[in-house]
Chains A and B, each alone.
Chain A
Amino acid sequence: MNSYFIKRILYLIPTLIGASILIFFLYSLIPGDYVDTDPNLTAERKAELKELYGLDQPVITRYFTWVGNLFQGDLGYSLQFQRPVTEVLGNYIWSSFFVALASLIITWFLAIIIGVISATRHYSLFDSTVTFLVFAAMATPSFFLGLIMIKFFAVDLGWFPAGGMITTGSNFTGLEYFKDLAEHMILPVLVLVMLSVGGLTRYFRTNMLEVVRQDFVRTARAKGLKERVVIFKHAFRNAMLPAITLFAFELPALFSGAIITEQIFNWPGIGAIYMQAFTVRDYPLLMGFTMFIAVLTVISNLIADLLYGVADPRVRLK
Chain B
Amino acid sequence: MEETTVQTEHMAKYRKSNLWKQVFRRLVKNKMAMTGLGFLIFIFVFCMIGPFFSPYANGGVDAININQPPSAEHWLGTDALGRDVLTRLMEAGRISLTVGLGAMVMSVFIGTLLGVLAGFYQGIVDQIIMRTADVLMTIPGLPLLFIMAAVMSEWKVPAENRLYIVMVMLSIVGWSGLARLVRSQILSLREREYMHATESLGLRDRRKLFVHLLPNIVPLLIVVGTLSVGGAILSESVLSYFGLGVVPPTASWGNMINAANSLIDFQNRPWLWIPPGVAIFLTVISINLLGDGLRDAIDPKMKSR
Contacts and interface: CB of A to CB of B under 8 A. Distances in A.
Given A144-B277, A260-B142, A298-B138, A139 B285 contact: yes
Interface string B266-297: 11001001100100111011001100100000
Interface string B132-152: 101111111011101110110
A18 interface: yes
Contact of B139 (A22, A209, A263, A274): A22
Given A26-B147, A139-B285, A260-B238, A18 B305 contact: no
Nearest to B278: A144
B135 A26 contact: no
A18 B143 contact: no
B277 A148 contact: yes
27 contacts: A15-B131, A15-B135, A15-B138, A18-B134, A19-B135, A19-B139, A22-B135, A23-B139, A26-B148, A30-B150, A30-B151, A122-B305, A135-B292, A139-B281, A139-B284, A141-B241, A143-B237, A144-B257, A148-B277, A155-B266, A209-B305, A259-B142, A278-B150, A286-B147, A293-B139, A294-B138, A298-B138
B5 interface: no
B154 to A, nearest CB: 5
Contacts of B232: none
B199 to A, nearest CB: 26
Interface string A4-30: 000000000011101100110011011
Interface residues of A, number: 44
A155 B131 CA distance: 48
Contact of B285 (A22, A27, A135, A256): A135
A36 to B, nearest CB: 12
A278 B267 CA distance: 28
A26 B136 CA distance: 12
A73 B277 CA distance: 43
B151 A293 contact: no
A8 to B, nearest CB: 13
Nearest to A141: B237
B100 interface: no
B214 to A, nearest CB: 29
A68 to B, nearest CB: 20
Contacts of B230: 139
A135 B286 CA distance: 9
A14 B131 contact: yes
A315 B11 CA distance: 42
B215 to A, nearest CB: 28
Contacts, number: 112
B61 interface: no
B195 to A, nearest CB: 24
Do most interface residues of chain A lie in helix, strand or loop, or is the interface mixed? helix
B147 A30 contact: yes
Given A18-B134, A22-B135, A202-B304, A144 B288 contact: no
Interface of A: 14-16, 18-19, 22-23, 26-27, 29-32, 122, 135-136, 138-144, 147-148, 151, 155, 202, 206, 209, 252, 256, 259-260, 263, 274-275, 278, 286, 290, 293-294, 297-298
Given A27-B147, A259-B143, A143 B305 contact: no
A138 B230 CA distance: 9
A22 B180 CA distance: 20
B298 interface: no
B260 interface: yes
Interface in B235-283: 237-238, 241-242, 254, 257, 260, 266-267, 270, 273-274, 277, 280-282
A206 B304 contact: yes
A8 B284 CA distance: 38
Contact of B234 (A141, A148, A209): A141
Contacts of A259: 142-143
B146 A141 contact: no
Contacts of B131: 14-15, 18
Nearest to B254: A141
A144 B305 contact: no
A136 B285 CA distance: 6
Contacts of B305: 122, 206, 209
B253 to A, nearest CB: 9
B304 to A, nearest CB: 6
Contacts of A19: 135, 138-139
B228 to A, nearest CB: 13
A139 B288 contact: yes
Contact of A151 (B150, B270, B284): B270
A141 B238 contact: yes
Interface string B117-138: 0000000000000011011111
